[in-house]
Amino acid sequence: MTSEQTQQFIWAWLPGHTSPVPCGTVWQEGSTHRFRYGRSYRDRPDAIALFGMPLGDQVLDPPAGMTLHGALRDALPDAWGQHVILARLTGRSGQGGDTAALTAITYMRNSSSDRFGAIDFQDTADSYVTRHQPATLDDLAGAALALEQGRPLPSGLDAALTHGTSVGGARPKATLADGTGNWIAKFSSASDRGNPVVRHEALALRLASLAGVDTVEAHLKTAGGRDALLVRRFDRGIDGTRLMAVSGLTLLQLDEMAGRYATYTDLVDVLRDAGDHPERVGKDLFTRIAANIALGNTDDHARNHAALWDGRRLALAPAYDIEPCRTPGWDANQAMAYGRHGERASSLAGLIGVGATYDLDRAEASGIVDRVVTTIGENWADVVDEVGLTKRQAEFLFGSRILNPATIDGLASAHPR
């Protein structure tokens, strides 16, 4: 079989199982990818539908405006992983190559088996073959640097670099499993230009957690002389199981090019309708938005949110990819609107004004925002020390990206420290 193949077999880990079973087939017709569940899968009493793909014997086409079902698209390599595969197959190393030169089926076939969520792509439905080679954190850091610099990848390590999710963006990363669980290792990049972006993310995740946001567990490490942030995978169980997961973009049934239309209000509606705890969704999402605004994370697009899926209900996944990246000036906007009339200004007062959308009265909304602002101020010095930022690096963030004056303008508790 060649890299020109136009179909792949989907294997899935069912809830509570530690081994996958053949689930169905995806194939390409023109620019569209169609899917059909296999008979053996449909006959299983414990079979569940992939999100947005009803269980049955019919051929399923993607939603209007999409060329691939979102549940399958989420398992494709992200931008970083696609560059790894492009380098392996074409010899175009570094990150200057055009990843559009390869098809989605090609990326499916040539990615590692450590996909996002609980599905994988295989050439046959007869036997499951793992495409992954264990490696140390130092080895992975060196391999990631080699790719960035346009050098050949060390033999056997490229598969571990093709991290299996499109929710992670273009930052150098790899999957890692050790005695403590399954992790995503995110490395500092040559494009950081001396800016300790990995430490910034560690800082923001820790402050968000202290402020009441359910966040992924994360630890800073040094690997190969570079900063590395180890982020525990929320789509893996400690018993070897894999959990079905979908991105916010897939929850909203939007194509990549339509991602700009994604909103928090649509997200809260979907999670209310199909969530396992609909009564908590509004408050949980409102708290996350407040932390994103306060911490200067304006890159809160739909791929930076996800949910777990058990075949019947959704559960909002822990927050991840919280990076203080807003412009230091007065005007800034969140990537997704948080109000039903398009409100998206990076303003906590503005967020309080739409609290009813999240089932909160004004006092409850103000209380959450006050807690976020106060927590950041009270814990700032300790967390700065914890992640190893210098005084100058901390001053670069505070009052410009984090708790920018425009962000806290109009709040009664606007003096954070």
pLDDT (0 to 100) of residue 133 = 65
pLDDT (0 to 100) of residue 142 = 73
pLDDT tens across 329-350, in order? 999 999 999 999 999 999 999 9
Confidence band (pLDDT; 50, 70, 90) for 2?
A: very low
pTM: 0.91
Of 154 and 280, which is predicted with more confidence?
A: 280
pLDDT tens across 136-153, in order? 777 777 777 766 666 766
Q: List the Cα angle 85/86/87 in 5-degree steps.
A: 90
Task: Give the mean pLDDT of 382-390.
Answer: 97
pLDDT tens across 255-271, in order? 988 889 999 999 999 99
State how far the Cα of 148 lies from the Cα of 145, in Å rounded to an integer: 5
Per-chain mean pLDDT for the chain: 89
State how far the Cα of 63 lies from the Cα of 70, in Å rounded to an integer: 9
Map out the domains of the chain with their CATH numbers. 7-126 (no CATH), 246-408 (1.10.1070.20)
Confidence band (pLDDT; 50, 70, 90) for 78?
A: confident
Neighbours of 358 (CB within 10 A): 22
74-83, 87-96, 202-211, range with greatest mean pLDDT: 202-211
